Every structure is written in C-alpha cells, then in structure tokens.
Amino acid sequence: MSNPSLSLTFHGAARTVTGSCMQFTLGSRSVLVDCGLFQGSRTLETLNNRPFAFDPKDIAAVILTHAHIDHSGLLPKLVADGFRGKIWCTRPTSDLLEYMLADCGRIQEADVARRNRRRDRAGETPFVPAYTERDALAAWKMCSPVALEEWFEPETGFRARLWNAGHILGAASAELETGGVRILCSGDIGPDNKAFQLDPAGPSGFDHIICEGTYGDREREPITLEGRRRLLESEVVAALTRGGNLVIPTFALERTQELLLDLAFLLRAGRIPDVPVFIDSPLASRTTSVFARHAADLEDTGGINIFADPAFHFTEDVAQSMRLNSMSGVIILAASGMCEGGRIRHHLVNNLHRREATVLFVGFQAEGSLGRVILEGAKTVRISGTDVRVRAQIRRIDCYSAHADKNELLDWIEERSPIHGSLFLDHGEITGLEGLRRELQRRNPQLSVRLPEIGETYRLEAGQPAKRSKIGTVELQAAVGRDWQNEYAEFATDLKDRLRTITNEQQRQKAIREMRAVLDSYAQYRDQRKQ
C-alpha cells in the first residue's frame, strides 16, 4: 500500500494580503497554518461569514505564526464551528491573542449592530457577526505556547518548530516536516533594523517554501532608527504648525508601540512640540501592557518604560474619545490601521474636512480599504453612510512597515535556499507578487515559483516541483481587490459635485433622467436574459 501524499490548499491570502490560511493534509489528518480574517472591501469581508471550505472538526491542530488579525482573526469561528485541537504559537502571541481576538469579536458585534440600524438598510436581511467576543475568548483558551526553535508534534505524523520572523512581538515562521517533506511557511517577515525585534532567523534547504510578498515590488531606502525619527519629527512639526490635529491611523499591535517609542524619544529631546498624545484604542492599551510584560525581550527601549511618558494619554471609554472632538493641535493615534473599523473612522469624520488637519498613514493600505481610497486622492469619501469631504493634508511615511521590502525578501529567500521543490508567493497583491517572481526567476530561471489563488490545492513531494491538483474558486477570487461597493461609494460621493457643475436646472434634471434610463436598460436586459 502506497504512502498517502501531502497536499496544500490555500484558503486565503492568495493574491491578497488578508485571510491567511493554509491547510496541509496527509491522508486523513489536516493541520492549518494560520486562520485569518479577511479585511478590505465589503465583498472581501463577506468571506468571513461563509462556511469554511473544510470541516473544522477534521482539523487536528493550528500552527499560528503571529497575532495580527489577518492571520488569527477567524480562529474563534473555527472553534465555534467545531475545531477542538490545540493552537500552537509563541508565548507572546498567546498573550496578545487574549486581547486581539476579544476586541475583534466586540468590533464585529458592534459593526453589525450599527450597519443593521442604518436607515438605508430598512427591511433588508440583518447582518450577523462572524463570531462574538465569547467565541473569541473560547478560542484563546485553546492556545498551547511553545518556545522558538524547539520541536513539537501538533499531530501524529507532523512535527514542527517556530523561528523568529522579526515582524512583531511573538511573530514566527513555521517549519513543518511531514510525509517525508520539509516545508517552511514564512508568516510575515520583518524588515532590517526593525524596532523591538531581532532580525529574522531560520534554517536552510527545504523542499517547499511559502513566502509572503506584501512589498514584493517595492524597494525602500535603507533607514536607521534615527533616520525614521527625523522623518516623523518633520511630519509632526509640519502638522502642528498648521494648527489642526495630527491623526494617525495605526494598528493597535506593534505599530502603535513603535510610534510611542519614537514620539517619547522626540518629546524628551525637545524636537517636537510638547502636546498631548492620545492613544484612542482600548486594544492598544491592552497590547501595550503585553509589551511591558515582555520588556526583557525588546530592543531599543534604552532600559526605560517608554509607555509611561506624561504626554501619553490612553483613552478607554467612548466618552473620553468623543471629548477629543473639541480639541485642536493634538496628536491622535487610533485603530484600525486601514481605517476599516474602530475609532479611527470617527476621527476621520471629525477631521478629514478640516483644512488645518493632517492625516498621516504609517502602514500598508490594502486595495479596497478606506485608507487606500483616501491615500489615492479621493476628494470625498463615504464613512458609515456619511459623505465626508477630504480637505485635510494627507501624508505618508513608509518606513514604519513591519514587512520586509523586495530586497529583504530576496535576501530571506536566499538564506533559506536551496529550494528543492517549489516556492509559493502569497500574502500580496498581484503586482507585488509578480514583481518578486520576475526577479526571483531572473536570478534563478530553474526555480519553480507559484502564485497560488484562493481555493487552489497542490500536491507536495520531496525534491519535486509542486503539482496543482485542484483549481481555485472563481467566486472567491472575484472578491479580491476593489468591489462594486467601492465603485458605488466613489460614484455616489462624486455625483452631487458633478451635477452642481451643470448650472442649468433643466439640463441637470435631464442628466438625472438619462442616468436612470441607463440603469433601467440594464434591468430590462437582465429580465430578457431570464426569459
């Protein structure tokens, strides 16, 4: 009787940067690496409510690379739907998940309640959250922490160990050996000179590697910690000189703490005005406490408690958050980093229309996200059913990324070589992945490089290129990128301005009638197709 073959299925983060989830199956046994939430357009987010493409009861274990929600955020749904195995991860990741998952559950419950209350949804089928806060805490209790570089057995026939990925606190790459095949899943790889974290580590010589490609087509200028602080100093001084608030959409985990590290240094050196810094994110407060708990593992703090600076004010309740509406000339850090949820949306509504205000982006903005729409120059955006003019200064600093750029990814892959089978590039938009693939194959034309799609399955063998055994799911692939709701929001917010440019009232009404006629023609065409 022949031995069962090993297969790999991509359930997310294929040609997109969210929803990381890989299923490794050997015979009847399956292990997941990551189980992340989809974030971005409303269409992409609907994937979070779909049934899993597998039966959660059939999953023996999950190996989690790190606590970011795009890698961990569907664990509560997995547990609620029947998963009963262990979630293997580092101790810092487990500590962070207690707060990250619970917060995500609360946000989903609140977001669904708010969307269901909207007047334009009256009479429609109510939305339901993918999971609740209670589900989230149940998932966290299933974590099984392991030390870096120590072998463990997540399931019979599988052995694994974790390596520092240099991305965020507790982040790891996952090495997996099963069925005579040696595999490495990069997780998210951190850049050189990353604050707090040591450089990525790991062994070499694998049959197959799955590597992220978030910044696969981008090269950043090498920058030191001091160089980064000079850039932040310049932006802060310019923003406060304009007299308005400086609003920074930021991820509660790692990005917030890095910003506080630099702001504390600049404040103590007298290089920026001594103004209040409000961290308007209860989750950021809680994750910061985890950083303090693991302070001995952090670099660059100079042996001081940087989070206790008197200029820092952690807002906890909604009333404190609302009081920021009346303030001007302060710095506000709020989640989420891509502006898709959380308190940042409230601050954008309150500040985007103000010419004296500044919005500073310090992280990657996925295609279809509100942050990406603003960054790409939208004049008006739609936030929670409200049209908001964009008059504020929109700025960006790219050196706070927790992801390696193109050259750093190439270096990481080279250090893990030789690759005897295939290299998969995931967790990236198609332009970034294609840019990285072209450079890899220019350097090594013989290398088998795959850009998987959501739903694809590959058979993995030792020393042989991967063979695709199942094509992707067209419906799921169509959810990646901008959707019709992005286009509708952009069109709706622009429509009134366009109509105002028609000064003749009769011509304006004629334009409206003609647009209605176009929509009616599509409806007639659809009805004819049904006949």
For residue 62, the domain's CATH number is 3.60.15.10
Print the domain residue range for 441: 6-219+402-477
Give the pLDDT of residue 482: 55
The answer to whether position 521 is within a domain reads no
> For residues 158 and 519, what is the distance between their CA atoms, to the nearest angstrom?
56
* Helices 430-443, 406-416: inter-axial angle, 10-degree rounding: 50
To the nearest whole percent, how much of the chain has pLDDT over 70?
A: 93
Whole-Å CA distances, 168 to 56, 171, 258, 402: 28, 5, 10, 7
In a shared domain, residues 233 and 126? no
In a shared domain, residues 206 and 95? yes
Confidence of residue 135 (pLDDT cuts 50, 70, 90): very high
The answer to whether residue 503 scores a pLDDT higher than 90 is no
The answer to whether position 519 is within a domain reads no
- For the whole model, what pTM was predicted? 0.84
Look at 301 and 32; give whichever has higher pLDDT.
Answer: 32
The answer to whether residue 91 scores a pLDDT higher than 80 is yes
In a shared domain, residues 308 and 382? yes
Alpha helix ranges (H) inside 220-366: 225-241, 255-268, 282-293, 318-323, 344-351
The answer to whether residue 1 scores a pLDDT higher than 60 is no
The answer to whether position 99 is within a domain reads yes
DSSP state of 119: G
Task: Give the residue-averaged pLDDT of 391-419.
Answer: 95
Q: Provide the token pair at 1.
A: 């009787």
In a shared domain, residues 504 and 413? no
In a shared domain, residues 168 and 63? yes
For tokens 């917060």, the residue is 103
The answer to whether position 149 is within a domain reads yes
Give the pLDDT of residue 150: 98
In a shared domain, residues 469 and 493? no
Whole-Å CA distances, 15 to 173, 226, 373: 20, 34, 19
Whole-Å CA distances, 54 to 78, 197, 455, 497: 10, 35, 11, 48
Task: Give the residue-averaged pLDDT of 507-524.
Answer: 81
Give the pLDDT of residue 398: 86
Q: Specify whether the backbone of 55 is left (phi greater than 0), alpha (psi in -120 to 50) or beta.
A: beta
In a shared domain, residues 276 and 249? yes
The answer to whether position 526 is within a domain reads no
Could you tell me the CATH number of the domain that includes residue 346?
3.40.50.10890
Give the pLDDT of residue 31: 98
H/E stretch holding 371: helix 370-375
Looking at 342, 377, 396, which one is the last position of a domain?
A: 396
In a shared domain, residues 164 and 243? no
In a shared domain, residues 149 and 281? no
The answer to whether position 385 is within a domain reads yes
Give the pLDDT of residue 336: 87
Q: Are 195 and 258 in contact (CB under 8 A)?
A: yes
Task: Give the residue-averaged pLDDT of 248-260.
Answer: 94
In a shared domain, residues 494 and 473? no
Look at 251 and 181; give whichever has higher pLDDT.
Answer: 181
Q: Are 136 and 128 in contact (CB under 8 A)?
A: no
Q: How many domains in the chain?
A: 3
The answer to whether position 353 is within a domain reads yes
Which residues have C-beta within 8 Å of that of residue 113, sequence separation ≥ 6?
Answer: none
Residue 448 has phi, psi (to 5 degrees) of: -80, 110
Q: Are 419 and 463 in contact (CB under 8 A)?
A: no
Average per-residue pLDDT in the chain?
91
Residue 248 has phi, psi (to 5 degrees) of: -120, 105
In a shared domain, residues 84 and 229? no
206-237 residue pLDDT tens: 999 999 999 999 998 888 999 999 999 999 99
Residue 371 has phi, psi (to 5 degrees) of: -60, -40
The answer to whether position 523 is within a domain reads no
In a shared domain, residues 137 and 256? no
The answer to whether residue 192 scores a pLDDT higher than 90 is no
Looking at 369, 396, 423, which one is the last position of a domain?
A: 396
The answer to whether residue 74 scores a pLDDT higher than 50 is yes
Strand partners for 178: 158, 181
